Structure 1
Amino acid sequence: ISDINQESLRLFGLLDIVSFSSDTVTTTYNEAPSNIHVETLVDEVLRDLSDLFPLSTDITITKDISKGFPTFVFSYNRAYQVLYELVLNALENTHVGSITISFSVKNNHAIISIADTGNGIPEKHIDKVFLPMHQVDPVDNKYGLGLTFSKKFIESVGGNISIESKEEIGTKVTIQLPIENNTNRTTQGVSTSQDASSFTGPEILIIKKNDLERIRIKNILRNHNFNVNVLSQLSVLKTTLESHTPKLIILDWNVNDVSFTEFSKVIRERFDSYEIPILLLGTATNLSHVDMIEAQGITEFLHKPINIVELLSRVNLILESISATERHRNRELQFLYSQISPHFLHNTLSNVIGLIGKEDAIAKETIINLSIYLRAKLNIHKRHARIPLEDEIEVILSYLDIEKLRYENKLFVESDIKAYQTHIPPLSLQPLVENAIEHGFKHNQPLTIKIKTHSEDGFVIIVIEDDGVGMDEVTLQNALENKSGRIGLASTIKRINILPQASFEIESSLNKGTRIMIRLKEFNHDESHNN
């Protein structure tokens, strides 16, 4: 099975190169050119090859980059593939000795060479190594498409490639590129290689061991302008998610003997499936564990070995689905953020004006409370994030202090709130309290709102309760279906329920009041910083 997988990967790799070599594809290829710093390019190629060819003390790899070597401007991925193929050839044919990768400038041309002390190429094959599908040694089953591709790309940017070789002495491949057409003199000496951040497409994180398949997936996605990062360690994933929120994670079934379940657990403790979808790579045998896959919050499953067309189709489909979901959520949330009542603002500001000169301390406190409330309503930077529970509680208490001033001795608030490490979508609780006030008063009688939090079996329990007018079953159902005047109740429930292991319960009785209980996963201190 392993041999079949390797040969399948080789065939798909051949298709990648053939697709570029065909005239129809090269004319439509549209990757934006970028500044390429050669030292970083070389380091990336050697890093990707290091796991495939663990270097022994019998082989020395040397980088020789002349001072002032220019920064080139063209397709990073094509440049990477050329250098990768040439260094790969050198490694495959050198068992003892050295490989030297050099960059120099001569006669207004950049000279790039890869020289090895390996097996060399028989003289009769020298003139044929750039021909498609030519094999120097039929026994090793390696086809000469890599050099064919390299030659085509180098000539496409106005350069040329040549090869010198002697059996049992070694091989030297030399590339000459005109500096005038392909370099950016304004960025000489600046490390501006096209790393992941240089791509403008959605960010994708690949979690997979460093092998040919990972390199191939990364290059395919970068060829289509996706911003791709890679990792293979569970500990690295935890720190990565602190600073990055990729649009999609591509996860292998097993990564360096660590099951995908360990990685997905870390991801799902911090992000929901609508926030970061997971595309799982596995075999047909793996797919039989469908219950386990679904339990881990996996979005899609893709069979290995990877088919290029299917990979790109699946990635684009997932991203478009997520984008559509975000647009829908934004429309729902836009209603919430627009619900700053002019009447509420007018009453609050009128009260502040009336307090100035009489109760300056209360006036100042009311202005502070109003600023906290408005900042939460208008802070567009947090619409897609989660915030600490204590921040949401601060908004609620500020809002209630303002309303207590408005309703004088008719509104009473009882709170028993402790700080717990959990996160919640912004403005999830405030509309619930606002509903209680707007719909809770009955026959001009006082209204009491109680807000309590406590911890129970690893969960934070939030209770919002009032003794107001309440709802009968029909009114409650209408509210849950957005068919009443209650502000965003259905949307709030949806936003809470999609949180990991969260739940939302509501009970209401006519003329007795309403009780809402929200259950959120409690995090330890380290985990709370990752949400």
Structure 2
Amino acid sequence: MNRFAKSCLNITIILIALFVLPSTPVQAQSLPTKHVLILHAFTPVYPVHEHYNQGIIAKLDQSTAYKFDYSYEYLDYSRFSHDRGYFQNIAQYLEVKYKNHRPDFIVTEENVMQLLGSNDQKIFPDVPVIIAQDRMDALPEDNYGNHFFVQQANDIENNIELILHTRPKTKKIYMIIGDSNDERIFTERLKEAGEKYKGKVETAITSRMSYKRMLETVKDVEADAAILYFRWLADAHGESYIPEQVIADICNAAKVPVYGVDINFLGSGMVGGYVREPTLLGEASADTILDILNSKSINDVARSRQIKNPCVFDWRQLRKWAIAERSLPENSRIEYREISFWERYKVYIMGGIALILVETLLIFGLLINRQQKRKAEQQLLQTNDALQRLTEKLMEQDKMKDEFLINTSHELQTPLNGIINIAEGLAEENHGRLSQRQNDELQVILAVAKKMSSLIKDIIDLERIKRNELEIHPEVIDLKAALPMAVDVFRHLIDDAHTEIVLDIPPKLPPVLADRTRLIQILYNILGNAVKFTLKGMITLAVREEGHYIRLTVEDTGVGIAKEVQEQLFQAFEQGGESIQRQYGGSGLGLYITRNLIERMAGKILLEWSEVGKGTRFAILLPKAAGKPADGKGQEDYGNATAEPMEISHDTIGQDFVILAVDDEHTNLRVLKSIFGRQAYTVLTASNGQEAIGLLRERRDIDLVLMDVMMPGMSGYEACKTIRESYSLYDLPILMLTVRNTPEDIAAGFEAGANDFVSKPFVAKELRARVATLLMIKKSVQQALKNEMAFLQAQIKPHFLFNALSTIMSFCYTDGEKAGELLAHLSAYLQKSFAIDDTVSTVTIENELELTRAYVEIEKARFGERLAVVFRVDEQLLEQRILPLTIQPLVENAVRHGLMTRKNGGTVTIEVVKVLDRIQISIEDDGIGMETPEKIVQANEVAKKRSGGVGLANIRRRLMNYYGVELCLQSEKNQGTRVSLTIPEQME
């Protein structure tokens, strides 16, 4: 190795040791594990809970003597605080759940003491309980039991003093607090503080107001007043609210500064103040746990810790209300101060550039080392036994180099992924707008980082191959599905005007036995080389059967490979000659890894032909597989192996849609509106199932429902069943959203009438794609209905028109009045047939009966006394909906095939009645009937299989698709035939 190469390698090793390699010592042995149960009073939507958890976990995970695992319980106290038996039920639940996995410590809040006060020794005997308090009260002198306290008070008096100091002209302070059970206790402290400052400043407390009244009060406060927000969990009417949303509403309405007592409210428009910081509270709770573990006796541990609240302000609000920073208390912390883009992200950018430079030096040094090693090996083959010892030494160094390379590659992968994620976030302007120059520089960093990441992955695969640790999972795969997908990816990377990719796949091709993921990697490597080295011309993929193999050839018209390097082409770090390497770059690992992967799948890869300047052809042999691809997997399954799930664009739908989102949590509704806010959707919201059903009755333009499952009163399943009484699966798709995703829950959702099922927490892209898919299906069904209407209208038989006109003409000579009457009936028949609205799927029963009456009047005039028709119709059912052209074709079938085939004719009876909660329609004739029961079965089969015309088959198919019901056919020879159907009630 020359001096320059040694210097580069040494510098690289030093830089990696300083900046990349971890310094954390390896644990010599496993640590004892302690179980910590964290009980929260409210639901996970409160950020204070998350920050409190983070403080506990961050402190405990620093311990070198113990490991900790955590359990969390959220009691939703704000909604169930008035339920007397609630805590008893929770106690029973906790006792059963943690019977076999008891916690070593319990961390909770003061307002959960109603639960633990009478049950902790029963549920968790002798378990230390760390209790967070929001006041600095003195503890009882004795009888602590197993309780420890961490106190962080809401600074009422300090914040009043702060307001008077920063706003000296303040004459009145409005103290905002809600009216839950928990808040009523704290209200007494506010009253005491107000009495203390009586004469110095006037105070007003809003606890007995409704939420609307409180906002109106805030909006109308005096100019010389100030607002001090504590929290708002429930108003005087018992309605629950999220405190973070309340502070945002107050800050939007207020015309004076709003101070607060919780750091979680900062950033919503609050100026600041002496604030409680849940992270500090969590760290203090963790300190108590560590003290207990490190003490000989529990009585040696301090029973109380007190945390002083920091003074924190929002820089933007200080500017808005002209509050000078010099008037703030000493050691105040100011957040949200505007800083430049470079100041904010210079550490990430410089770190990324430094890491890329280190990686470049490392790869450069390794490549030089590889070249030097190859030359040394060639010289050692020509030396004597003395040089053999040097060969063994170099091989040992090569092994050490491989170890170093794989270890370094693994260590570089994590920070490199971090750089890619950070740079992508910046490029997407998630943290503010970028200038064009900044965006260009970020794109360069991304391109270099992604290229380096691909090289590192190849290096890791190379080492796995050397150690024989590369795992292959063969399965039956349809090659016809995999190839088009891979080709489509590379079609985006070529110039269509100069390069063409051609697929030659026979229609019948047996599947292959291969690893699905690795097969995609192989196709990408081979196609990638063909695309890379073919700047102009054609790339052909041909597939043929060859004995026990499937043969895939990839032929290009690119630069070709020189003969002198073809033998080493499948070796590691080899390419198609030095000129190719200089011009096109690359690591030389692709074909080496591809060959190893194919051989591990019992296949082969060959370089069949190559000539410089003319092109190259590779052949891949993969073993045939018996049977069919597992689970019927097709082309869509290969896309998931290499790319993110494709989101269906709204543009592919082609029209605006209205979505109804149903959830009892206001926050979830806001999230859904945010997800679809940038799409061309209109999002309506409902907080429960009853409200959703009411909206559906008021508005007929709703195209899809997003339905939460767990809601008070009427569950999502019950609401879905109610909706399905009026809407079919295609008329109104319903997508269920729930945290419960067991097979039983999914089955229950589909049984209730849901079209699809998405588990929470969901991915926004997946949800948008599923919604778009359901809407596209609905649109397709609507189009099919339009086509169906056009088909039905085209089925008026010419012979009926000819017969009707002939009958009318005969009456013109004998009875002009009768001829005019028949013309009116024919006109009504044609009008009803052609005026079917193709935008709706149903018509009224009255409309269908009018069409039928027009038809039978013409036929009665034609056949005279041979034909009699009787209508038995419940008048209250005339406005009910039915599929068009359902009754009239059945009546026509009865007349033509049941009555007129015999000389004396007969009677057709049309009956429309209500049976229980459904509508029964029957058409009965006293004609020739069927000869045997087998004839009835045969007629039913003909109805099921026959195509064309508005006959029994068409009517049966439409009834099955729309209602899921069958035609019922009953017949007896010489007694007649009865055709009936039963459909649900359906109003417009």
Q: Above 0.5 in TM-score?
A: yes
User: For the Cα contact (< 8 Å) 1:208–1:214, is it kept in 2?
Assistant: yes
- Is 1:347 equivalent to 2:803 in the alignment? yes
Query: Partners in 1 of 2:959 and 2:852 — Cα distance?
Result: 17
Match of 2:248 among 46, 71, 91: 91
- Summarize the alignment of residues 11-410 of structure 1 with structure 2, pairs less than 5 Å apart: 56=215, 59-60=218-219, 91=248, 94=251, 97-98=254-255, 118-119=271-272, 121-122=314-315, 125-128=336-339, 152=433, 200-209=655-664, 211-232=666-687, 234-235=690-691, 237-255=693-711, 257-284=713-740, 288-356=744-812, 359-382=815-838, 384-410=840-866
- Is 1:413 equivalent to 2:880 in the alignment? no
Query: Partners in 1 of 2:948 and 2:219 — Cα distance?
Result: 74
Equivalent residue letter for 1:398: A
SS of 2:840's equivalent? Answer: coil
User: For the Cα contact (< 8 Å) 2:666–2:687, is it kept in 1?
Assistant: no
User: For the Cα contact (< 8 Å) 2:709–2:715, is it kept in 1?
Assistant: yes
2:385 paired residue number: none
User: For the Cα contact (< 8 Å) 1:428–1:495, is it kept in 2?
Assistant: no
1:179 paired residue number: none
1:496 paired residue number: 959
SS of 1:452's equivalent? Answer: strand
Query: Partners in 2 of 1:238 and 1:57 — Cα distance?
Result: 30
CA shift for structure 1 position 444 = 3.9
2:476 paired residue number: none
Query: Partners in 2 of 1:405 and 1:358 — Cα distance?
Result: 13
Query: Partners in 1 of 2:743 and 2:828 — Cα distance?
Result: 50
1:432 paired residue number: 890
User: In the TM superposition, what whole-angstrom CA distance separates every residue of 1:281-314 from its partner, at most 9, and x where no partner exists?
Assistant: 1112576334532332111111112211210221
CA shift for structure 1 position 476 = 0.6
Match of 2:881 among 423, 446, 462: 423
Query: Partners in 1 of 2:884 and 2:757 — Cα distance?
Result: 32
Q: Which runs of 5+ in 1 are unaligned?
A: 11-50, 63-86, 101-113, 135-143, 156-198
SS of 1:495's equivalent? Answer: helix
2:927 paired residue number: 468
User: In the TM superposition, what whole-angstrom CA distance separates every residue of 1:476-524 from its partner, at most 9, and x where no partner exists?
Assistant: 134322427763322322333455686531223455432112223347x
Number of matched pairs: 393
Match of 2:950 among 463, 487, 497: 487
Query: Partners in 2 of 1:375 and 1:153 — Cα distance?
Result: 64
SS of 1:98's equivalent? Answer: coil
User: For the Cα contact (< 8 Å) 1:461–1:520, is it kept in 2?
Assistant: yes
Equivalent residue letter for 2:681: F
Instruction: Quote the RMSD (CA, aligned, Å).
Output: 4.4
Distance 1:149 1:368, change over 3 A: farther
More RCO (CA 8 Å, sep 6+)? 1
Distance 1:473 1:89, change over 3 A: closer
User: For the Cα contact (< 8 Å) 1:366–1:402, is it kept in 2?
Assistant: yes
Query: Partners in 1 of 2:963 and 2:947 — Cα distance?
Result: 28
Distance 1:5 1:509, change over 3 A: farther
Query: Partners in 1 of 2:252 and 2:850 — Cα distance?
Result: 67
Query: Partners in 1 of 2:786 and 2:951 — Cα distance?
Result: 13
1:196 paired residue number: none
Query: Partners in 2 of 1:90 and 1:386 — Cα distance?
Result: 51
User: For the Cα contact (< 8 Å) 2:251–2:268, is it kept in 1?
Assistant: no
Distance 1:476 1:130, change over 3 A: farther
Q: Which runs of 5+ in 2 are unaligned?
A: 1-39, 51-209, 222-243, 258-266, 273-312, 316-333, 346-424, 437-653
SS of 1:128's equivalent? Answer: coil
Moved more, 251-260 or 273-282: 251-260
2:470 paired residue number: none
User: For the Cα contact (< 8 Å) 2:902–2:927, is it kept in 1?
Assistant: no
Distance 1:210 1:395, change over 3 A: farther
Query: Partners in 2 of 1:271 and 1:325 — Cα distance?
Result: 14
Equivalent residue letter for 2:683: V
Percent identity among equivalent residues? 24
Query: Partners in 2 of 1:214 and 1:484 — Cα distance?
Result: 47
Equivalent residue letter for 1:423: R
Moved more, 405-414 or 200-209: 200-209
User: For the Cα contact (< 8 Å) 1:411–1:446, is it kept in 2?
Assistant: yes
Query: Partners in 1 of 2:813 and 2:344 — Cα distance?
Result: 90
User: For the Cα contact (< 8 Å) 1:204–1:250, is it kept in 2?
Assistant: yes
1:76 paired residue number: none
TM-score normalised over the length of structure 2: 0.35
Query: Partners in 2 of 1:306 and 1:97 — Cα distance?
Result: 36
